[in-house]
């Protein structure tokens, strides 16, 4: 098995693909430097996940093993909690009685899940990891190395609802990958670390595929080969729109789409002589109609609130006349003290008046 020091370096290689050759320097040149940095930051955890099995948060603990991965998978997947309870509260209940190693694995997988998502603020990403660690009997701080990784780079893609709302599917998928990885032979591991398409086969060997996290994970492990895109639909739209630039369409399976996108990326890099940005012009309008879903993929969505002051809006004339708005959440104090929605939700859930209303 390769040494830890070599795993990241080997991930930088790009192997020949059928009908065309991809030069590693050209593939790197076609990428935004920030995307490559996000991939590099992910190796804080990935080096150990694919290598020596040790935790980053607690280097004395070996967490990347079959038993720990199965315990995490089972706790989330085999014990579903239905209802409108917030996802993080459900996860806390599911992991509440699990061993320390399972909690550490969950925290490090949350790190990988959040890292590439531009839709999460840096503080939220750090808070998500800290939240999982707070469930340990003796709470553990998020290591400075993780904090730096989550705050120095904004991310690479907007996950959107298809990414953000499926934590309960994403953690079991990642746990199942870990189970497969630790059980394949050293020969397969060695080949997979050298050849991204062999690694792709290991990743795809799951009957319960979750494309959003699968696409994100492939990008984090091989940032010079796979696209910084979580949406499977966007990947296929892109491939169908640009397959003509390299005169090839390998097939409709996930590996073929990824191969074709790599070839199209390098061809477009030569054409425009600058890094390829799928969600910006001149490429965006070539594969997505103006005003379509993808044209807003890098823009935060607008949110609207329905406001009804008092029971039956009885205070509306008074509020309208005085030009004010107010919320009857006296127990939570000054709203400016809450840095994000999750912190406010936690306070509301602890309020005697608001219990059961969130």
Per-residue pLDDT reduced to its tens digit, 148-160: 999 998 899 999 8
Q: Stretch 328-345: mean pLDDT, rounded?
A: 61
pLDDT at 139: 80
- Cα 293 to Cα 229: distance, rounded to the nearest angstrom: 14
* One domain for residues 137 and 38: yes
Give me the pLDDT at residue 84, please: 84
The verdict on 36 and 142 lying in the same domain is yes
Residue 287 lies in a domain: no
Its domain, for residue 104, covers: 4-11+32-221
What residues contact residue 216 under an 8 Å CB cut-off, 6+ apart? Answer: 112, 113, 116, 117, 157, 159, 163, 230
On whether both 206 and 321 belong to a single domain, the answer is no
Q: What is the pLDDT of residue 2?
A: 44
Q: Are 227 and 259 in contact (CB under 8 A)?
A: no
Q: In this structure, are 187 and 322 located in the same domain?
A: no
Q: Within this chain, do residues 170 and 57 fall inside the same structural domain, yes or no?
A: yes
C-alpha to C-alpha distance for 263 and 271, rounded to whole angstroms: 12
Do 81 and 198 sit in the same domain of this protein? yes
Q: Looking at the domain assignment, is residue 39 inside a domain?
A: yes
Whether 323 is covered by a domain: the verdict is yes
260 inside domain: no
Top-confidence range, 21-30, 250-259, 295-304: 250-259
94 in the same domain as 199:
yes
In a domain, 288, yes or no: no
Among the candidates 168, 190, 221, a domain finishes at 221
Lowest-confidence segment of 12-16, 72-76, 301-305 by average pLDDT: 301-305
Last residue of a domain, one of 183, 202, 221: 221
Q: What is the pLDDT of residue 306?
A: 62
């Amino acid at each position: 098995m390769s040494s830890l020091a070599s795993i990241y370096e080997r991930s930088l290689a790009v192997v020949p693909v059928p009908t065309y050759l991809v030069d590693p320097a050209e593939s790197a040149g076609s990428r935004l430097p920030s995307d490559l940095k996000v991939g590099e930051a992910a190796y804080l955890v990935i080096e150990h996940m694919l290598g020596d099995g040790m935790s980053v948060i607690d280097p004395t603990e070996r967490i990347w093993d079959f038993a720990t991965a199965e315990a995490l998978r089972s706790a989330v997947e085999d014990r579903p909690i239905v209802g409108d309870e917030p996802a993080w509260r459900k996860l806390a209940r599911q992991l509440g009685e699990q061993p320390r190693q399972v909690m550490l694995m969950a925290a490090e997988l949350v790190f990988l899940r959040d890292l590439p998502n531009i839709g999460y603020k840096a503080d939220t990403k750090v808070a998500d990891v800290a939240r999982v660690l707070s469930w340990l009997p003796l709470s553990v701080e998020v290591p400075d190395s993780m904090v730096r990784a989550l705050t120095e780079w904004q991310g690479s893609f907007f996950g959107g609802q298809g990414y953000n709302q499926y934590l309960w599917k994403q953690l079991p998928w990642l746990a199942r990958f870990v189970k497969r990885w630790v059980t394949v032979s050293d020969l397969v591991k060695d080949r997979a670390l050298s050849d991204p398409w062999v690694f792709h086969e290991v990743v795809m060997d799951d009957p319960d595929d979750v494309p959003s996290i699968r696409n994100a994970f492939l990008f984090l492990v091989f940032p010079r080969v796979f696209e910084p895109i979580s949406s499977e639909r966007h990947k296929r739209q892109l491939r169908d729109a640009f397959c003509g630039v390299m005169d090839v369409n390998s097939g409709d399976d996930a590996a073929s789409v990824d191969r074709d996108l790599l070839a199209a990326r390098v061809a477009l890099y030569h054409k425009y002589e600058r890094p390829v940005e799928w969600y910006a012009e001149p490429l965006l309008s070539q594969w997505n109609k103006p005003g379509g879903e993808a044209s807003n993929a890098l823009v935060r969505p607008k949110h609207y609130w329905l406001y009804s002051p008092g029971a039956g809006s009885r205070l509306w004339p008074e509020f309208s006349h005085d030009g004010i708005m107010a919320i009857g959440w006296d127990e939570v104090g000054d709203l400016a003290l809450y840095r994000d929605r999750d912190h406010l939700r936690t306070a509301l859930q602890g309020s005697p008046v608001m219990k059961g209303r969130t």
